[in-house]
Structure 1
Amino acid sequence: MVRGIRGATTVEQNEEAEILHATRELFDSIIEENGVLADDIASVLITVTTDLTAAFPAKAIRTKPGWEYVPVMCTMEIPVPGGLANCIRLLVHANTEKTQREIVHVFQKEAQRLRPDLAHVRK
């Protein structure tokens, strides 16, 4: 069964190195928390807020050894007034036997405000 695993993080600066580092850190945490492998992933959708233009965050996943064949796509987040700035969001579509309740969604840094009900949940 395919399940969606959500995650989000923030960066302080619109700089390539910081965007790639934060994306990789978030992705690695999602993978570790949910025990999934590259072959388990159907695709990854990444959104960034409109203030992040220095890098394609997908590069952080595509350059991860063993993950180069995982389909990854980037797009812009809807610019809602008052929305969280400097934010990177991931939606990982993974083949897993876990139930929705067993999936661990990962919210880091300022992005914990997006889903406080899930930000501290660890199975």
Structure 2
Amino acid sequence: MQAIFTSSRTPHGEYRLKRGWDAVQTKDPQAKIDADFEFHEMIYSWAGNDTLQNTMRTNWHHIRRSMAIVVRGTVSAETSWAEHAKIIEALMQGDVDCAEEAMRSHISRAMVKTISTLKDMQA
């Protein structure tokens, strides 16, 4: 995680955050999914972990189906992008520990909410 950030990545991170917030404002589920994918791709790229990038690309079509259901439901896009902002801001400040904690929190919340939403649909 220490190598994930350099100052040259700052404009790219700010651009991805703006794109995400713009997608939230449009209320377009596909725009939200696309912006989310691009955000996560950026983080994987910054990490320099080809295995992670390839695994996510391979499985993205499965993840996208779940996300399509979730973004139309009760999951708050605003919450996700606030979490994304916290991650990027921590990385831009060089606070790797804060970024890691923000990532763990984001992943945990998203996982719980996604599972709950999908279970509710089956009931």
Q: Tell me whether the two structures share a fold, i.e. TM-score over 0.5.
A: no
- Scaled by the length of structure 2, the TM-score of the pair is 0.34
Larger-gyration structure (1/2): 2
The structure with higher relative contact order (CA 8 Å, sep 6+) is: 1
- Scaled by the length of structure 1, the TM-score of the pair is 0.34
In proportion to residue count, which structure has more strand?
1
